[in-house]
Structure formats: C-alpha cells, structure tokens
C-alpha cells in the first residue's frame, strides 16, 4: 500500500526508527515564507492558514513530528515542570523547529532532525511545546548535541519569534515560554506525545490492516 499511495504526513509517516534522538520532521514553513502554512488534518495537504501579519518571519524550518499528539501525557509533564495543575494539551501534533545553515526553496518536505532541546510554551493555557532540533548532517550545527551548545543568539531569535508573532492581534499576551530545556526533557516530551498519539489514534499500520481485513471479508 505504501508504494502505491502518498502517505498522510501526520498518520502515515513513521516518527523515526531512532526516535526520540532523531525524528522525522515534516516541514510546513521555511524562513522565506510570508504565508503561514499548516497541515490540513483530514486530507494531509498543506493549506494556507493566514498571511504573516508582521514583518518578522519564521527563523528556522518549522513543522511537526509525525505520529505525535499533545494531550494528557504531554500536559501532565508540563504541569509537573511548571508546578501548575490547569494546563491541557493543545490537541495538535508536536511542533518542531529545525536549525540549519542551508537555505530551502519550499516546505512540504521531510527531513531527519537531531533533537537538542525545546521550549516549554503555553498558549492560552494549553501545552504547545516546541522541540528544537538541528538538521542531521548540517555543516554548521550538525555536531551540536544539546541546546546549551547552540549560540545563544540563535536560540533567542527563535524564542523571540514565538513570543511576538501574535502581537498584532493581541494574542501574544496569552503566550509564554516557561522553560528552555535540554535534550533529555525533549526526549521525554517526544515519548509522551507519541504515547498520546497511540492512545488517541491507535497504531496506524494495525488500523489499516484491520480495515483491509474487514473490507476483503
């Protein structure tokens, strides 16, 4: 089946054989984009969400980790780390920012992303973690193992974007980044988001096999 049809980017692509250290990243947006694109969840196509309202553009490759979902386990970890009890999952795939020295011409691509850390971001009281990774094999950043090794200005630029990109409509006041964490915490977030995905949607291959069995009698 996988050789005859294009896989759904969220459900049909594997999280990665070497996860959580190296994951597949489906890239929706590149730094040159003046439009905010995102996955259309029912179909798997890239859709236009909105034009970027401000002059600052996404400072990195941005997308999500397939077969992840931010729900109860991710929210519980965020509550544990912040000392809160009211945080819930945002119900979306786990976001990922991939840093590279290279320029890219378009999104809607897959890449191997080496996880180095993350942002514990809350948006309107919902867990909206941003995993920070480097492009595997990147000549500038590929050897970096943890976010603490990344130049501070690079991380500050990404952090600033997420804290300000909703400024124009006042949405930024609902966004906060409580922690910048290293790779071990990022690994835990990835594991929990994958568990949340399995709990919500089940195993994609098993579901397909079961559906085909019923179809064929």
SS3 per residue for 130-156: EEEEEECCCCCCCCCCCHHHCCHHHHH
End-to-end alpha carbon distance in the chain: 18
User: What pLDDT score does 169 carry?
Assistant: 63
Report helix, strand or coil for 67.
coil
Q: Kindly list the distances between the CA atom of residue 22 and the CA atoms of 90, 105, 175, 196, in Å, as whole numbers in the listed order.
A: 23, 23, 28, 19
Which residues share a beta bridge with 182? 117
Q: Give Cβ neighbours of residue 130 (< 8 Å, ≥ 6 apart).
A: 95, 96, 97, 118, 119, 121, 158, 162
pTM, entire model: 0.93
pLDDT digits (tens, 9 = 90+) for 123-180: 999 999 999 999 999 999 999 999 999 999 999 999 999 998 877 665 557 899 999 9
CA 70, 76, 79, 82 torsion: positive or negative?
negative
Question: Are the beta carbons of 36 and 49 closer than 8 angstroms?
Answer: yes
Token pair in block for residue 11 = 């459900």
User: What pLDDT score does 105 carry?
Assistant: 93
- Residue whose C-alpha is closest to residue 130's, from 83, 49, 169, 185: 185
In the block, which residue shows the tokens 């603490």? 148
User: What pLDDT score does 74 carry?
Assistant: 98
- Residue whose C-alpha is closest to residue 179's, from 99, 80, 70: 80
User: What pLDDT score does 159 carry?
Assistant: 96
User: What pLDDT score does 168 carry?
Assistant: 61
Give every residue of the chain whose pLDDT is below 70, as ranges. Answer: 1-2, 168-172, 204, 208, 212
């Amino acid at each position: 089946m996988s050789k005859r049809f294009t896989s759904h980017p969220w459900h049909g692509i594997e999280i990665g054989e070497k996860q959580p250290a190296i994951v597949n990243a489906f890239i929706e947006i590149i730094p040159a984009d003046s439009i905010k694109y995102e996955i259309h969840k029912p179909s798997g196509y890239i859709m236009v969400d909105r034009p970027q309202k401000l002059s600052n553009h996404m400072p990195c490759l941005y997308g999500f980790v397939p077969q992840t979902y931010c729900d109860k386990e991710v929210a519980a970890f965020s509550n544990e780390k912040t000392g809160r009890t009211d945080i819930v999952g945002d119900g979306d795939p786990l976001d990922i920012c991939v840093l590279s020295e290279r320029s890219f011409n378009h999104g809607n691509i897959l890449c191997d992303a080496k996880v180095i850390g993350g942002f514990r971001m809350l948006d309107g009281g919902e867990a909206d973690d941003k995993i920070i990774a480097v492009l595997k094999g990147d000549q500038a950043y590929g050897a970096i193992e943890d976010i603490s090794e990344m130049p501070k200005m690079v991380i500050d630029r990404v952090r600033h974007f997420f804290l300000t990109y909703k400024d124009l409509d006042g949405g930024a006041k609902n966004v906060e980044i409580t922690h910048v964490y290293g790779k071990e915490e990022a690994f835990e977030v990835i594991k929990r988001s994958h568990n949340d995905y399995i709990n919500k949607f089940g195993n994609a291959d098993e579901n397909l096999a079961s559906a085909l069995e019923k179809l064929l009698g």
